Chain A
Amino acid sequence: MFTIEEIRLKDVLPEVFADRAERVAASQIWLDDVAFVRGGRYLVAAESGTGKSSMCSFIYGNRKDYRGCICFDGRDIRTLSMAEWCDVRRTAISILPQELRLFPELTAYENIEIKNRLTSHCSRREIMDMLDRLEIADKAGVKAARLSVGQQQRVAIVRAMCQPFSFLFLDEPVSHLDERNNRIVGSLMQERALMQGAAIVATSVGNNIILDGEINSLSL
């Protein structure tokens, strides 16, 4: 298990923007030098199509179509081996992808368990408590395909909590939630992040997650 203290993006630009550099002139992330530091709270606001999900994918290692350099504590992540990426995804970075990536043929609980059995991070009781807090405990045995998008989003949030992490990346975490649920989700994630001294990096197109404390706002 390892921790990451700082994630630095230096002169990073998605390949698709390569010939439209002027379009990202106002961005505080693309073609800039920005660091996410462990323990911080970051809100990345952006319009659609400016590359929020791309940024999350680059940092999570499932896309490499960018220029520039992304470093974990000074190490270029292009040099990470497959085994190291597995370690990162189990112990250092947790992500809530915008498309959620639940397996529709598994139940809500199984979707969480398939992650948890890899990390053994939470007990069954803890998982059920979290589901209960997000008011979907009664859906634990329902196939993900038959849940509403808002319910699926909350299942994916609980799944993201089932591992130790230094950074929690949330790609539009509350886009399908009302304000009350937004608050519940926000407090749950803050709690779990605080326990581990972790950073939260959230993106949004307007419906911001409600977080406490000092928040660094960046725009894409």
Chain B
Amino acid sequence: MIWKLLRKNISVGQIAGYALANLVGLAIVLTALKFYADASGLLRGASDHQGREGAGSYMVISKPVSMFDTFGFGNAADGISQDEVDDIKAQPWADGVGEFTSANFGIVGAVELQGRGLRSYIFLESVPDEYLDIVPEGWHFDESAGTGAEIPVIVSKDYLSLYNYGFAPSRGMPQLSESLVSQIPITLYLTGKGHADAFRARIVGFSSRLNTIAVPQDFMDWANGRYAASEQSRPSRLIVRVAEPGDPAIDKYLSKHGYEVAGERMDQGKAAFALRLVTGVVVGIGAVISVLALFILMLSVSLLLQKNREKNAGLILLGYSPAQVSMVYFRLVALINVAVLAIAICAMLLASDAWGGLLQKVGIDSASPLMPIVAGVAVIIVITAVNFIAIRRSVARSVE
């Protein structure tokens, strides 16, 4: 009945105007946040197919090879010194630094393919497991089995692509799938320090992060001890996990110390930075619209309270508490806000659904909508609370 009494002066136009304005603002904010969550999955996801949480971004850095190195005068072959590694570790943007360990002994790889034998000198490297983008089952070396052990190998995805799209079509060779390649038995012949052993090996995974032929670290340590004649040399490449790929300090540091970055990881970092910037701008625009909408609501409610001033006072003189009278207006505001929130969330989900298909095509799953929803709920709670306080004040004033 109080509602019947007080609703008379409600301006449907003003309330609808507010609802529309806040809906637009909130929908923009939520959609931008959702897009950011999805798209940052795109940038990070490239290096994290197994969805390892908090994996961050990785980059492989090395010293550039110059003309001097070709003729043996340069310093790239000396590798990266321990001091230099420690210095990188000390940088605030570096989450962790892994060293590539190379094999200091002779390796020959052999495969049997459709009856044809294929045999080549190859190289092997290893990195600590935590820097791998995939850790396949059986990724370890059983030292007790010695030379009878089967060696798991990870090769770069690029190698398979080079073969499938470059080599095989031009030579009339069959294209190979990842699972087929994994079936091919490989024999590795390792020689050095008076030993010569043959190992069974198998490709167990394809890495898009490492541009190398990788074996488990424990196997590499064991093999270097058994076959390597010389002292282990310094690594020439490092894999660095960075917390914020877009951090401009990384770029500065690398160019100052003359490191090269493999692949397009830095470009991705810049893209992430640009993405964050653009998202920030869009969220900002949405937030400004929402704040303006909040003012419309505040004005509309205060106008309504002004028009109802006498009725509010009349109710309070009958014995209604200011809280009971405020509740009528508060319910109206809360109802509108909940509706606006629900529609904005729907709009966000619809939009994300629309681009979800595109993301799926590049192999990225849509991120959870929880973060934008929580953000939307928070915005609405703030708007409703601000109004609640304004209404209470105004109603209390109407009896003074």
Contacts and interface: CB of A to CB of B under 8 A. Distances in A.
Interface of A: 60, 62, 82-83, 86, 89-90, 97, 101, 103, 105-106, 110, 113-115, 117-119, 163
Interface of B: 1-2, 4-5, 8, 311, 313-322, 396, 399
A113 B317 contact: no
A101 B314 contact: yes
Contacts of A105: 4-5, 8
Contact of A60 (B5, B311, B315, B317): B317
A101 B317 contact: yes
Nearest to A113: B1
CB-CB nearest 8 A-B residue pairs: A89-B319, A90-B319, A86-B321, A115-B318, A101-B314, A118-B319, A114-B1, A86-B319
Nearest to B317: A62
Contacts of B315: 114
A98 B8 CA distance: 25
14 contacts: A60-B317, A62-B317, A86-B319, A86-B320, A90-B319, A101-B314, A106-B4, A106-B5, A110-B4, A113-B1, A114-B315, A118-B318, A118-B320, A163-B319
A60 B399 CA distance: 12
Q: Identify whether the interface residues of B are mostly helix, strand, loop, or mixed.
A: helix
Nearest to A64: B400
B322 A82 contact: yes
Contacts of A62: 313, 317, 399
Contacts of A60: 317
A62 B312 CA distance: 13
A173 B259 CA distance: 97
A18 B321 CA distance: 32
B138 to A, nearest CB: 74
B5 A115 contact: no
Given A101-B314, A103-B311, A103-B314, A117 B1 contact: yes
A119 B319 contact: yes
A114 B318 contact: yes
B205 to A, nearest CB: 72
Contacts of B320: 86, 118
A89 B311 contact: no
B388 to A, nearest CB: 17
Contacts of B1: 106, 110, 113-114, 117
A156 B375 CA distance: 51
B83 to A, nearest CB: 74
Contacts of A110: 1, 4
A204 B26 CA distance: 60
Q: Which of B314, B317, B322 has the most chain A CB within a 10 Å cutoff?
A: B317
A27 B69 CA distance: 116
B164 to A, nearest CB: 80
Given A86-B319, A97-B317, A114-B2, 7 more contacts: A89-B317, A103-B5, A103-B314, A105-B4, A106-B1, A110-B1, A115-B318
Nearest to B314: A101
Contacts of B317: 60, 62, 89, 97, 101
Contacts of B316: 86
A118 B324 CA distance: 11
B173 to A, nearest CB: 89
